[in-house]
């Protein structure tokens, strides 16, 4: 079933076509075809599947989630001046920033176009939730950028940032499946909370894999350490480190020019010594538990529930 | 009545409030309060006024037009690297490009939020028309950017560009008033065509005023000539100029360093000699005539029609 969902999503992506001008539309096809887990449309289908069978009817709004997500990646990459995305050149590197800005803009419109295909009785509710979600995603990106120039970021603010930037869209992806499955707000709230907690777990796991993952799925290995990115790990280690560890850490944070490999090795050693990895893992497991807690409510539909439950398990144990 | 509309629109703009983070929302308030004619919401109210009285009920969707328009200005200014907008610093100059990109993104979401407040029975129709319009606006901006690096632009392609970049939104502004006034597509099409032709006239008039206007409403005087912008005037003069005029023209187009005042004076002299101004004016009047032609259909509602008719006249005779 999961495979069927995945194939249908890819087929839907491959059927996207646009007219001229090419400078506007080619980057959309390019970024959409870079691959990825297609997590958001998948969650939407898995969620809908708890309540109804005709998931083929909701492929367009499910795809809207993926289009919106890729719109945020396109603009974020410009803002972060990131050269590489999924092992390939980012849009603004392959073309230029202006192309990235404008193609992104039209992607957001295309996302709305796809949402607009939902059954009329759900349209307002879908749009209201999506508008709220999209606003939160932008707010999260702004917070993330603000963090770069702030001397210190609290754990609370970091979690609030990833809640907006990442978790809100996973929450809405689940919620959308529920709305389109005809569920009331009591139910869709549980679905949202599943997705939200999954999103928090997912982002913290990303932070962890950036440092401790074997493969770095196209990203620079240890890139967060190299760039002093204020991730959960760095915030935690700054809470805990004292004495020599703290000195070493601050030394590396302060260096403008350094050997990247050496910096990663040294900072990673401190993470290991202070059990930051374990701390992160325990937090990640906590969010996964909170997520699945919200799933219990849907156990009645055994097959669909099991599918979602095992999917969650796969995300929990992913190593890249 | 017009004044009442204008005051209500300004009041609605001034009542916009947003939460944190400030970096995301301050630029929105800043650009929305830079002023301007508020042409798009005004057209929407004037259009609605042809069919119904309760225009206060549609202030939010009318404002969505102004929010969307200002979103395009914010992003266009980044892409054009424009330092000044309505006599004030542009967003990316006052803050930076990243702020401009992200604030713009959230503005587009806020525009949709405002559209979503329409009566349920009109929601789908409003969104379908708006999505089409927003797509055209992005396509127009892309064409406009492409023109910059193309050696020559045909009159046809130029008109197609301004049709998308400018006229489509004025068309939709009128259409929106009709949809919300309960009119069918036969009627809303006429409204759209009024707005579309008004938009074409409006943009050509902008081109003309940039060269021949007395005041330049915050823009650099003769800026289009200085930057070799492929406006209707330049396209026309390149069609008509021969001999010494053509040589002089190509000389100025080719100079990398020059005295701006001298260039403007010399090119303007050729425009005058070859009656480019008259050519543009005749075209502008033609579009204004086509616009008002579409209005005839609505003469029955005498007061509302007269209001719109005289408003069109004001736009026709504007000198800035």
pLDDT tens, position by position, A170-200:
999 999 999 999 999 999 999 999 999 999 9
- Is B180 in contact with B60 (CB distance < 8 Å)? no
Count the alpha carbons within 13 Å of A122 in the hemisphere toward its beta carbon. Answer: 21
Q: Which residue of B has its CA nearest to A96?
A: B79
Dihedral sign (CA A100, A103, A108, A111): negative
pLDDT at B218 over 80: no
A112 inside 8 A of chain B by CB = yes
- Contact (CB<8Å) B101/A102: no
The residue among B213 and B97 whose pLDDT is bigger is B97
Q: How would residue B220 be classed by pLDDT, with cut points 50, 70 and 90?
A: low
pLDDT at B234 over 90: yes
d(CA B41, CA B228): 32
- Is A92 in contact with A77 (CB distance < 8 Å)? yes
d(CA B99, CA B81): 14
For the entire predicted model, the pTM comes to 0.95
- Contact (CB<8Å) B105/A102: no
pLDDT at A57 over 80: yes
The vertex-B296 CA angle with B293 and B300, nearest 5°, equals 170
Q: Which residues contact A64 (CB under 8 A, 6 or more apart)?
A: A111, A112, A113, A114, A115, A130
A240-279 pLDDT tens trace? 999 999 999 999 999 999 999 999 999 999 999 999 999 9
d(CA B141, CA B136): 9
Tokens 């009331």, residue located = A184
- Contact (CB<8Å) B131/A112: yes
Q: Of B101, B112, B135, which has the smallest distance from its Cβ to A78's Cβ? A: B101
- Contact (CB<8Å) A105/B75: yes
What topology is assigned to B2-317 in CATH? Answer: Farnesyl Diphosphate Synthase (1.10.600)
Give the burial class of A178: count Cβ atoms within 10 A of its Cβ; 0-12 exposed, 13-18 middle, 19 or more buried: buried
Q: Of A21, A108, A124, which has the smallest distance from its Cβ to B139's Cβ? A: A21
Give the burial class of B302: count Cβ atoms within 10 A of its Cβ; 0-12 exposed, 13-18 middle, 19 or more buried: exposed
A194-229 pLDDT tens trace? 999 999 999 999 999 999 986 445 455 788 999 999
pLDDT of residue A220: 52
Q: How many helices (H) and strands (E) does chain B have?
A: 16, 2
B98 inside 8 A of chain A by CB = yes
Rounded to an integer, the average pLDDT of B88-98 is 95
B81 inside 8 A of chain A by CB = no
pLDDT at A239 over 60: yes
The bridge status of strand B84-85 relative to strand A84-85 is: unpaired
How many other C-beta atoms lie within 10 A of the C-beta of residue B53?
9
d(CA B107, CA B16): 12
B179 is written with which tokens?
Answer: 């949809």
pLDDT at A288 over 70: yes
Q: Which residue of A has its CA nearest to B102?
A: A138
ipTM score for this prediction = 0.94
A48 is written with which tokens?
Answer: 């809908």
Average pLDDT, chain A: 94
Q: How would residue B39 be classed by pLDDT, with cut points 50, 70 and 90?
A: very high
Among A47, A307, A311, A318, which Cα is nearest to A203's? A318
- Contact (CB<8Å) B145/A102: yes
The residue among A110 and B218 whose pLDDT is bigger is A110
Average pLDDT, chain B: 94
The residue among A78 and A20 whose pLDDT is bigger is A78
pLDDT of residue A319: 79
- Contact (CB<8Å) B102/A124: no
Alpha-carbon torsion angle A47, A49, A50, A52, nearest 10: 130
pLDDT of residue A20: 85
Q: B89 forms bridges with which residues in the sheet? A: B84
pLDDT of residue B213: 83
d(CA A140, CA A171): 14
B127 inside 8 A of chain A by CB = yes
Rounded to an integer, the average pLDDT of B86-100 is 95
| φ and ψ of B84, to 5 deg | -130, 140
Domain ranges of chain B: 2-317
List CB contacts (< 8 A) between A142 and chain B. 21, 23-24, 102
pLDDT at B219 over 60: no
List CB contacts (< 8 A) between B82 and chain A. none
pLDDT at A40 over 70: yes
pLDDT of residue A11: 96
Among A20, A62, A309, A40, which Cα is nearest to A179's? A62
How many other C-beta atoms lie within 10 A of the C-beta of residue A201?
24
List CB contacts (< 8 A) between A97 and chain B. 97
A105 inside 8 A of chain B by CB = yes
Among A141, A138, A117, A137, which Cα is nearest to A127's? A117
The C-alpha of A310 sits at a distance from chain B's nearest C-alpha, in angstroms, of 35
Among A120, A199, A123, which Cα is nearest to A159's? A199
- Is A119 in contact with A180 (CB distance < 8 Å)? yes
């Amino acid at each position: 079933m999961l495979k069927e969902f995945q194939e249908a999503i890819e087929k839907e992506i491959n059927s996207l076509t646009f007219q001229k001008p090419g400078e506007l539309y080619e980057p959309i096809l390019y970024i959409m075809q870079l691959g990825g887990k297609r997590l958001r449309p998948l969650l939407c289908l898995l969620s809908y599947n708890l309540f109804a069978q005709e998931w083929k009817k909701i492929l367009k709004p499910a795809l809207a989630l993926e289009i919106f997500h890729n719109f945020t990646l396109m603009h974020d990459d410009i803002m972060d001046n990131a050269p590489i995305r999924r092992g390939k050149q980012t849009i603004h590197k392959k073309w230029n920033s202006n192309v990235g800005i404008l193609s992104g803009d039209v992607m957001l419109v295309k996302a709305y176009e796809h949402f607009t295909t939902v059954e009329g009785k759900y349209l307002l509710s879908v749009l209201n939730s999506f508008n709220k979600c999209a606003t939160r995603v932008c707010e999260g990106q702004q917070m993330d950028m603000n963090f770069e120039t702030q001397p210190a970021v609290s754990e609370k603010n970091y979690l609030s940032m990833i809640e907006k930037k990442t978790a809100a869209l996973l929450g809405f992806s689940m919620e959308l499946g529920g709305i389109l499955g005809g569920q009331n707000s009591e139910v869709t709230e549980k679905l949202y909370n599943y997705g939200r907690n999954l999103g928090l777990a997912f982002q913290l796991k990303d932070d962890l894999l950036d440092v401790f993952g074997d493969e770095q799925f196209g990203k620079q290995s240890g890139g967060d350490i190299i760039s002093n990115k204020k991730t959960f790990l760095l915030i935690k280690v700054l809470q805990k480190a004292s004495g020599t560890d703290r000195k070493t850490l601050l030394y590396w944070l302060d260096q403008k020019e350094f050997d990247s490999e050496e910096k990663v090795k040294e900072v990673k050693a401190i993470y290991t010594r202070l059990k930051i990895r374990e701390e992160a893992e325990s937090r990640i497991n906590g969010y996964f538990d909170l997520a699945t807690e919200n799933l219990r409510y849907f156990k009645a539909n055994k097959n669909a529930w099991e599918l979602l439950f095992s999917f969650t398990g796969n995300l929990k144990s992913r190593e890249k």
